[in-house]
Amino acid sequence: MIAAQDERREARASKYMHWAKTSSRARFNLATSGLANVKLQELQVSLADLEISGETGYGYPPLLSLIAERFGVDSACVVTAAGTSFANHLALAALINPGDEILLESPAYEPLLALARYLGAQVKRFQRKFENGWRVSPDEIERNLSPRTRLIVITNFHNPSGVLTDDDTLKEVGELATKRNARVLVDEVYLQMLFAEPPCTAFHLGNQFVVTGSLTKAFGLSGLRCGWILAEPELARRMWLLNDLFAATPVHAGERLSVVALKQLPAIAELAQGRLDKHRQLLNQFLDGRDDLEAIRPQFGSIMFPRVKQGNSERLCDLLREKYETSVVPGEFFEQPAHFRVGMGGDSITFVEGLDRLGQALDELR
């Protein structure tokens, strides 16, 4: 009990977010996981789109309709939130009570782990193993389920590895959850990088699925904080009511700008996809030439999570930063110190130079 309380107190902050905000920047930044930020001038915006006052209720109807239309769901299933971060917070807060057991993937996006602990969940883990291509294994999940499990939590694509979990696997996970009267929360912030129309989502796989997402990573629109939760209507309603205790009312100009951005999404997506395809090819070529790294190489997305064959990535990350002005995310933030995460969503000059410097640092450590 004391340990659980300590864990909860510790979880009032995220070590990873603190590092990302204070220490991840570098001249050649390969530590970001999304597309480089779009500027307001790149969107076609009128002054009326910046209107700060509007009707306050449970969601801005034009925004709810656009998100609902995008995913082919009823507006009653959509809850808007400030980014996937707050969508996750609201979803978890609505889905679990203190003391409930949840099953979270490992390695995991640390803020999700901290959030679950902060909300008082008993967090159990299931492993996604490098040797198994970081895949979600329904058998591994089943082994770790207990009669007290209320929720299974997965990121898709997986952060940090970038690996996609397919619908068949998710359906199996959904069946396991249903047998236990539990739900499945899928954080789909990276799944938007499939750039499919209509976009893929686990929401259609059954009522037990709750999904979260945002325009942040795939479209470089983090600044809008346009996030959403898709949940069955009764649950969505509970989330709206709970939100009255949290954010209560969103920034109206943000809602309006999100509508503008959603209407311009195809053009933004085309540029983003082109950049990621090109950078992924460059990263694959880079990895082909390195016998000191091994990596699972996803076909999609903006991140990879290579392993330094000779053990710990800490020296590499320090050397990169200090001598080569380049940053990647140390694997310790994902409970995998032999690995490091490379992001490929930045501009091409930064990415190419950053990769070159990564190569030089690795050579120096041989």
- Report, in Å, the least distance between residue 289 CB and ligand PLP: 28
How far is 108 from 159, CA to CA, in rounded Å? Answer: 7
Our CB check for ligand PLP shows the closer of 155 and 243 to be 155
- Report, in Å, the least distance between residue 364 CB and ligand PLP: 29
User: Checking phi first, is residue 7 left (phi over 0); if not, alpha (psi -120 to 50) or beta?
Assistant: alpha
- Report, in Å, the least distance between residue 157 CB and ligand PLP: 9
Interacting residue ranges for ligand PLP, rule: CB under 6 A: 33, 83-85, 109, 155, 159, 187, 189, 214, 216, 222, 227
φ and ψ of 329, to 5 deg = -95, 120
Residue-by-residue DSSP string for 261-316: HHHTHHHHHHHHHHHHHHHHHHHHHHHHT-SSEE----SSSSEE--EETTS-SHHH
- Chain centroid offset of residue 277 CA: 19
Our CB check for ligand PLP shows the closer of 37 and 178 to be 37
User: Tokens representing 324?
Assistant: 């080569």
Our CB check for ligand PLP shows the closer of 36 and 352 to be 36
Our CB check for ligand PLP shows the closer of 85 and 336 to be 85
How far is 203 from 182, CA to CA, in rounded Å? Answer: 15
- Report, in Å, the least distance between residue 17 CB and ligand PLP: 9
Our CB check for ligand PLP shows the closer of 122 and 216 to be 216
Our CB check for ligand PLP shows the closer of 138 and 227 to be 227
- Report, in Å, the least distance between residue 212 CB and ligand PLP: 7
3-state secondary structure of 141: helix
- Report, in Å, the least distance between residue 88 CB and ligand PLP: 6
Of all residues in the shown chain, the one whose CB is closest to ligand PLP is: 83
Our CB check for ligand PLP shows the closer of 78 and 361 to be 78
Which segments within the chain are labelled E, that is strand?
Answer: 28-29, 78-82, 101-106, 122-127, 149-155, 183-187, 209-214, 226-230, 293-294, 303-304, 307-308, 326-327, 329-330, 340-343
